């Protein structure tokens, strides 16, 4: 048996070295809040004809109504990126412009998510300013902390699938490796969300030569 312990540090949204702005955050662990913010920000970027896209910097406040067709109230800060609006790049893939040249903005949005039709109705107001230094810093209890996540959440499995694919692509081992166990999964609320997942993989009986990727046929081998 040849187990490997791997730590996946992953940013599914946007990762930045910038210090996050601390602030109030009511629903830290609600992935739906992020979907609502994503919908609102996409709409904001989509409505701009020229200039650069904005990426999420931090979610400052979030409230939601109960039930499947949730209505969200979100207040979030955005930061100018170096992606031109015309490029149509998802904002998650854009990097922040240097502070000295960047514009920042604060948006208040009401987002109605219709889960059945996968649509959202956004009404929002964004105030853009070019003075990044005026960004107010307020007290934040949960920004920057890691929060435990359920290891069977779909976000965790999506991230791991990509991570293991990458591992197999880059490894110099002859065999493909497969997930055996997720030891721990945590999420950090910063500019975007960071995930920290500790998991274990083991060698399978599929060789890299014969299999481009893992298939259900690939089983963990238990060589001593």
Ligand X SMILES: *[C@@H]1O[C@H](CO)[C@@H](O)[C@H](O)[C@H]1NC(C)=O
Q: Which residues bind ligand X (CB under 6 A)?
A: 112, 121, 123, 205-206, 217, 219
Q: Which class for 208: exposed (0-12), middle (13-18), buried (19 or more C-beta within 10 A)? A: middle
In contact, 191 and 56? CB cutoff 8 Å: yes
Structure tokens at 145: 């902390």
**Pick from 61, 57, 30: nearest CA to 190:** 57
CB 163 within 8 A of CB 201: no
Could you tell me the smallest distance in angstroms from the CB atom of residue 141 to ligand X? Answer: 32
Q: Please report how close the Cβ of residue 220 comes to ligand X at its closest, in angstroms.
A: 9
Question: Closest CB to ligand X among 93 and 219?
Answer: 219
Q: Measuring CA to CA, which residue among 127, 129, 156, 171 is closest to residue 4?
A: 171
Give me the least distance between CB of 46 and ligand X, in Å please. 16
Query: Cβ of residue 193: shortest distance to ligand X, in angstroms?
Result: 27
Q: What is the DSSP letter of 144?
A: T
Residue 101 beta carbon to ligand X: minimum distance, rounded to whole angstroms: 35
Tell me how far the alpha carbon of residue 130 is from its chain's centroid: 26
| Residue 64 token pair | 């939601």
Alpha-carbon gap, residue 121 to 70, rounded angstroms: 11
In the structure encoding, which two tokens stand for residue 129, read together?
């300013």
CB of 3 to ligand X, least distance (A): 18
Cα distance between residue 200 and residue 204, in whole Å: 13
Nearer to ligand X, 50 or 67 (CB): 67
Residue in 76, 87, 85 with CA at minimum distance from that of residue 41: 76
């Amino acid at each position: 048996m040849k187990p490997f312990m791997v730590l996946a540090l992953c940013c599914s949204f946007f990762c930045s070295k910038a210090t996050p702005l601390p602030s109030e955050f009511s629903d830290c662990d609600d992935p739906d809040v992020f979907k609502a913010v994503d919908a609102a920000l996409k709409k904001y970027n989509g409505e701009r004809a020229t200039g650069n896209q904005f990426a999420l910097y931090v979610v400052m406040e979030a409230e939601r109504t109960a039930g499947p067709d949730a209505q969200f109230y979100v207040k979030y800060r955005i930061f100018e990126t170096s992606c031109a609006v015309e490029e149509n790049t998802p904002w998650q893939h854009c990097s922040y412009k240097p502070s000295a040249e960047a514009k920042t903005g604060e948006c208040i949005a009401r987002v109605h998510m219709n889960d059945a039709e996968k649509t959202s109705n956004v009404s929002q107001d964004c105030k853009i300013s070019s003075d990044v230094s005026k960004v107010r810093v307020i007290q934040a209890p949960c920004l920057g902390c890691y929060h435990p996540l359920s290891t069977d959440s779909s976000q965790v499995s999506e991230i791991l699938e990509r991570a293991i694919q990458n591992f197999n692509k880059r490894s110099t081992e002859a065999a493909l490796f497969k997930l055996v166990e997720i030891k721990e999964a945590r999420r950090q609320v910063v500019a975007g969300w960071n995930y920290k997942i500790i998991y274990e993989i083991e060698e399978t009986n599929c060789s890299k030569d014969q299999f481009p990727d893992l298939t259900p046929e690939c089983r963990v081998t238990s060589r001593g």
